[in-house]
Amino acid sequence: MRIDPQLATLRGDPASQRAVQLRLEGIRDEWLAGEAAPVRAALAEYGRGAKFAELEALRNLVEQQGEAHSFVDAMMRPMTAALAEAPLGQIPFRHQKSGHFSTLELMRSGRAGLTLITYEEFDQPSASAGFASGDLHEVVLAGAADVRHLELLEENATHAAIDCTTRRVVASDTLRCTGPGETRLVERVHGRLVMLRIARTDENPKETRQYALDDGRLIHRASGSREESRREMAMALLGRMGRKDAAPVLAELAGEGSAHIRWQSLRECLALDSGAGFDALCRVAAGPADPLAVPAGALRAQLAEAYPQLLERSAEACPA
């Protein structure tokens, strides 16, 4: 294995590496306590549910020309200078890169986050669009791009009518999406695009929906809640591990949360223990006010026809 000389030197001097990291963290902390303090306080209020229009520090970032540049520049100048001297230092913000898209999360509080976003040059119109709960406010710091704004006019269980408008955005332009019926797609970037994003998720997020743009058909649904997403992944893992001992817990969870996560609980419970799962399915089907009663009743009938032995063992819990 070849180890770069710079890496070898740094590896052999952990005290120097630590000193570099402390310097970068110090630049971040000084910025957060100084230039960024008003924005940080406003973001905390926004994350707790305050209206965006009432928070001057956040509003100015988007509406006042040059305000966002000064805000970001106050952190980036000393940070990049320090990285130029110590290029192997780790920038002390959450960051990620995927293809032509990069993010740097500058701060987060509650349901709100402030993120620096970069798109490298690309030209790839999207075939579909996702709609999720929450609000989005963005200001372009540099570059230019063709952006499509989409609004749901009408949707049902299988399709949606979507209104689309495309515009060219350049430095100082702003973009806004409010609620689960709006979204935006960056379709073509000319050179490089840098934006500052202020985003907030809803307190009780609705499920996200992915629609094809050519005919409006529904492609995918997913929970809009991080907690429910974690729960869904945990249930799927238990199912793949064949943990039958988890079936009683899954049966109980079938009565908690959104319709989506409850249905997933039923599915995983049925896969692990058909008896316990069928009993839970019968309980859901028996609730006239339960939004899952009808699909649960239909599935119960299908399973009872295919596997009549389920009715025999569950005669008391689920009379056919």
**170 — pLDDT class (breaks 50, 70, 90):** very high
Cα distance between residue 287 and residue 202, in whole Å: 29
Cα distance between residue 18 and residue 86, in whole Å: 11
CA dihedral 134, 138, 144, 148 (to 10 degrees): 30
pLDDT of residue 187: 93
- The CATH number given to 5-222 is 2.60.120.10
**13-27, 135-149, 260-274, range with the lowest pLDDT:** 13-27
Mean pLDDT within 71-80: 94
Mean pLDDT within 96-112: 93
pLDDT of residue 320: 40
Q: Which residues of 266-275 are buried (b: 16+ CB within 10 A; e: fewer)?
A: bbbbbbbbbe
**118 — pLDDT class (breaks 50, 70, 90):** very high
Note the pLDDT tens digit of each residue in 49-58: 999 999 999 9
**3-7, 169-173, 256-260, range with the lowest pLDDT:** 3-7
**pLDDT > 90 in the chain, percent:** 61
Determine the 3-state secondary structure of 114 from DSSP. Answer: strand
Q: Is the pLDDT of residue 319 over 70?
A: no
Q: What is the DSSP letter of 93?
A: S
pLDDT of residue 224: 64
**308 — pLDDT class (breaks 50, 70, 90):** confident
**pLDDT > 70 in the chain, percent:** 95
Neighbouring residues of 148: CB distance < 8 A, sequence distance ≥ 6: 126, 164, 165, 166, 184, 185, 187
Q: Is the pLDDT of residue 318 over 60?
A: no
Domain boundaries of the chain, sorted by first residue: 5-222, 226-313
**79-88, 166-175, 200-209, 307-316, range with the lowest pLDDT:** 307-316
Q: pTM here?
A: 0.76
Chain mean pLDDT for the chain: 89
